[in-house]
Amino acid sequence: MSRRLGALVQFRDISKHYGSFRAVDGLRLDIRAGEFMTLLGPSGSGKTTTLMLIAGFDAPSTGEILIDGASVVRLPAYRRNIGMVFQSYALFPHLTVAENIGFPLKQRGVGRAERDAAVRRMLDLVQLPGFAGRYPQQLSGGQQQRVAIARAVVFDPQVLLMDEPLSALDKQLRDTMQMEIKRLHDRLGMTFIYVTHDQREALVMSDRISVMNEGRVEQVASPQALYDAPGNRFVASFIGEANFAPVSAVAEQAGGLLVATAWGVAVQAPRQAYAAGCACMVRPERMTAAPPGAVPPGRNGVQATVRDVVFMGETTRYALETDTLETLLVKQQNRADVPLLRPGEPTLVTWAVDDTRLVC
């Protein structure tokens, strides 16, 4: 299948109200043509409602949704040229794989020969050649998901919507399907809009992520930017794990900031925006726990005591307690040259100055 550019999707002050409840509240978002955009957030954040509004299965209370510059809010779902992959797959159990995939083309009046050729192309695309005559109940979960994707893209839509499509799969298969979907996006060039509450899934697959909370967008950025430079405390805590320490004072100094923290020490941070009420944030895997000693140059350090040790295979997770009774989480790679610490042992926790962020 030839690669063609997907559509630009824009939300202009979109709101959706159910009585007094605002499921989506003043959403403004531009999704670039051909982009893999993930809507990420906890349950009730408005991400699935947003997807249903794009699909045309629900209508916004206010605002406009534009696809390639044209409003679609008054268009019925079947006229929007949008593909949809549901969480439950929604395959027809009485139809074969070929009939399921060809169904959208049959509804559009495509002839049998052209339809059969398109189905064969789709089966090759999703790596299911030879499965045309099987029924959904004869397929594994991963195979059913591939069929659902093939059915959603067989009519060559410019936009593909996916609503938590991997949530029913086991971890190993989910990891495999993440790579399969990313490969399909790269090959097809459609605009993918993907909904999930799984942070790792969003980080692995997306060009950009829109983090949603209570119907609003908290931050839109690339996976690396969201993880390394979260715009606020909600994003920092929802994307991965983080250590937070309340900040009592911030002083500017040559080359950066000096931050007084509840960890009982002043730590250095790179120059960045800050405001009253900010917290100091450091990711657990950016920290190193070692026997007490001097703090190396270019690093911050906090004295702590090991409270809990959890072996996790490739890493060990430490829960540590500072002298001010604050808890620190540290994740370290397990290597022969890294000593394993024991509960009750004193330790020095250090991290690079550039890994220190202030979030509000």
pTM of the model: 0.91
- In terms of Cα–Cα distance, which of 90, 85, 87, 83 is closest to 136? 90
Rounded Cα distance, 51 and 72, in Å: 13
* Percent of the chain at pLDDT exceeding 90: 90
The per-residue pLDDT for 87 is 86
- Type and span of the H or E element at 187: helix 171-188
Rounded Cα distance, 22 and 117, in Å: 46
Question: What are the structural domains of the chain?
Answer: 9-235 (3.40.50.300), 241-359 (2.40.50.100)
Give me the mean pLDDT over the 137-145 stretch.
93
Per DSSP, the residues of 48-75 read HHHHHHHHTSS--SEEEEEETTEE-TTS
The per-residue pLDDT for 51 is 96
Q: Which of 57-61, 93-97, 251-255, 315-319 comes out lowest in average pLDDT?
A: 251-255
pLDDT digits (tens, 9 = 90+) for 106-136: 999 999 999 999 999 999 999 999 999 999 9
pLDDT digits (tens, 9 = 90+) for 288-323: 999 999 999 999 999 999 999 999 999 999 999 999
Give me the mean pLDDT over the 94-108 stretch.
96
- Does residue 2 surpass a pLDDT of 70? no
In which residue are the tokens 């906890």 written? 42
Return mean pLDDT, the chain. 94
Give me the mean pLDDT over the 79-91 stretch.
91
Amino acid residing at 17:
H
- Does residue 245 surpass a pLDDT of 60? yes
* Percent of the chain at pLDDT exceeding 70: 99
User: What are the backbone dihedrals phi and psi of residue 104, each rounded to the nearest 5 degrees, phi first?
Assistant: -60, -35
pLDDT digits (tens, 9 = 90+) for 208-221: 999 999 999 999 99
The per-residue pLDDT for 168 is 80
- Does residue 142 surpass a pLDDT of 70? yes
SS (H, E, C) 264-297: CCEEEECCCCCCCCCEEEECHHHCEEECCCCCCC
Rg (CA), the chain: 25
pLDDT category at 5 given cuts 50, 70, 90 is confident
The per-residue pLDDT for 161 is 97
The per-residue pLDDT for 243 is 98
Rounded Cα distance, 47 and 212, in Å: 7
The per-residue pLDDT for 355 is 96
Measure Cα distances from 297 to 271, 350, 351 in Å: 18, 10, 10
Sheet with 36-40, strands from edge to edge, namely 82-85, 159-163, 191-196, 36-40, 208-213, 216-221
pLDDT category at 280 given cuts 50, 70, 90 is very high
Give me the mean pLDDT over the 39-64 stretch.
96
**Secondary structure (3-state) at 333:** strand
pLDDT category at 89 given cuts 50, 70, 90 is confident
Give me the mean pLDDT over the 38-45 stretch.
96
The burial class, CB within 10 Å (0-12 / 13-18 / 19+), for 19 is exposed
The per-residue pLDDT for 167 is 86
pLDDT category at 328 given cuts 50, 70, 90 is very high
Amino acid residing at 193:
I
The per-residue pLDDT for 339 is 86
pLDDT category at 3 given cuts 50, 70, 90 is low
Give me the mean pLDDT over the 69-93 stretch.
93
The per-residue pLDDT for 64 is 97
The per-residue pLDDT for 157 is 95
The per-residue pLDDT for 4 is 61
